[in-house]
């Protein structure tokens, strides 16, 4: 495949890729240490995979809601149908799954510009807002289960103080949300502050370009000027992550264990926070080790937990990646030098 071949040659030149790969190897080691491979393969081979079908269906429903949320955030800039946004959203998922450093986020902004003429800076503003709301909701999933976090100890394979990380993370995401809300509500004041920094810190030959990017970025925050819009974005974010947790529940039915839906919410929140750590493409290791640790903390046999987490990871990765690649091909877009340059130089 042309995209994959060109990507491989690009990755060999990027130190970030190798750092991510090393981190993934570390997390894989954490995931498999003490694992009995015969029990693991027995768990995988005996799973009832018919349950993946409703799981995938629920997941794609969540992706559709995510596309609607993005369509909603972009509304003040340009009205674009949710159907169009769905295809671009899946392209972004595909990019995140096979390219390093969440390049899919920038890729979908670039595709949106090519397809609908929306400035990349404005699209990126809405994407960052999405991620902030996602972070708040994921941390809310963790806090709902705060008493259960005491189970996540070194004995379960989880490294670090997740309670402290959750508190710090919530502070960071809420702080970022507050900054974006204030920037949206007071765009002229924000622009003046931005100009003050630009004129003092940015070389003269780059100032006009940076000012243009800043202005378009602020335009992308227009949807946050309405309290109703903010509530709708938060509400849809909750729905998105509940639907994704629904997929966790359906996949669980394929395996001989049962934990509560709230435990799966906790797992969902923790593994998605862990995938923000740099890793090899596809979140290899950073998804798996925390997921196994959460389940073993709830009393699930490690081999079963590892089998479930592997199948869940593949079920989350493969269908959306294939669909995103299909939509990218249907758009007639290739990972060419021009697209690569456009993506890297945002």
Task: Classify residue 176 as exposed, middle or buried by CB count within 10 Å of its CB (0-12, 13-18, 19+).
Answer: middle
Helices (H) and strands (E) in the chain, counts: 15, 0
Q: What is the pLDDT of residue 102?
A: 77
Specify whether the CB–CB gap between 211 and 192 falls below 8 A: no
pLDDT-derived band of residue 146, with 50, 70 and 90 as boundaries?
low
Of residues 111 and 158, more confidently modeled: 111
pLDDT digits (tens, 9 = 90+) for 291-327: 998 898 888 999 999 999 999 999 999 999 999 999 9
With cut-offs at 50, 70 and 90, classify the pLDDT of residue 55: very high
Which pLDDT score, from 0 to 100, does residue 148 have?
A: 67
DSSP state of 223: G
pLDDT digits (tens, 9 = 90+) for 63-109: 999 999 999 899 999 999 999 999 999 999 999 998 877 788 989 99
Dist. CA 190–CA 219, nearest whole Å:
12
Query: Torsion over CA of 236, 114, 95 and 130, rounded to 10 degrees?
Result: -20
Reading the block at residue 193, the tokens are 């502050």
pLDDT on residue 159: 44
pTM for this entry: 0.86
Q: 252 or 138, which is more confident? A: 252
Closest CA to 319 of 71, 7, 52: 52
Over the stretch 260-283, which tens digit does the pLDDT of each residue have?
998 999 899 889 888 888 888 889
CB atoms closer than 10 angstroms to residue 301: 17
Please state the rounded mean pLDDT for residues 153-160. 52
Averaged pLDDT for residues 102-126: 90
Per-residue confidence (pLDDT) for residue 311, from 0 to 100: 97
pLDDT at residue 99, as a whole number: 81
Query: pLDDT category, 44, cuts 50, 70, 90?
Result: very high
**DSSP string of 155-195, one letter each residue:** GGT--S-HHHHHHHHHHHHHHHHHHHHHHHH-HHHHHHHHH
């Amino acid at each position: 495949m042309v995209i994959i071949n060109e990507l491989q040659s690009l990755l060999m030149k990027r130190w970030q890729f190798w750092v991510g790969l090393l981190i993934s190897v570390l997390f894989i080691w954490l995931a498999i240490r003490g694992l009995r491979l015969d029990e693991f393969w027995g768990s995988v081979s005996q799973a009832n995979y018919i349950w993946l079908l409703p799981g995938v269906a629920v997941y794609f429903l969540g992706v559709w809601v995510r596309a609607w949320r993005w369509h909603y955030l972009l509304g003040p800039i340009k009205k674009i149908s949710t159907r169009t946004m769905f295809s671009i959203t899946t392209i972004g998922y595909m990019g995140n799954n096979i390219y390093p450093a969440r390049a899919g986020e920038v890729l979908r902004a670039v595709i949106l510009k090519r397809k609908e003429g929306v400035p990349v800076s404005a699209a990126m503003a809405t994407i960052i807002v999405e991620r902030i709301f996602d972070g708040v909701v994921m941390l809310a999933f963790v806090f709902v289960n705060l008493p259960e976090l005491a189970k996540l100890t070194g004995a379960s394979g989880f490294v670090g103080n997740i309670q402290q990380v959750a508190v710090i993370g919530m502070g960071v995401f809420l702080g970022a949300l507050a900054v974006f809300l204030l920037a949206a509500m007071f765009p002229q004041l924000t622009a003046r502050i931005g100009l003050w920094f630009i004129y003092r810190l940015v070389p003269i030959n780059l100032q006009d370009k940076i000012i243009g990017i800043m202005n378009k970025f602020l335009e992308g925050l227009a949807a946050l000027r309405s309290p109703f819009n903010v509530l709708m974005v938060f509400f849809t974010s909750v729905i998105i992550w509940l639907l994704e947790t629904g997929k966790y529940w359906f996949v669980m039915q394929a395996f001989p264990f049962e934990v509560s839906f709230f435990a799966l919410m906790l797992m969902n929140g923790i593994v998605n926070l862990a995938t923000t750590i740099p890793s090899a493409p596809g979140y290899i290791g950073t998804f798996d080790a925390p997921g196994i640790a959460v389940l073993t903390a709830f009393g699930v046999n490690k081999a079963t937990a590892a089998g479930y987490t592997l199948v869940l990871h593949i079920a989350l990765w493969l269908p959306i990646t294939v669909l995103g690649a299909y939509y990218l091909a249907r758009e007639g877009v290739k990972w060419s030098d021009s697209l690569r340059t456009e993506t890297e130089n945002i």
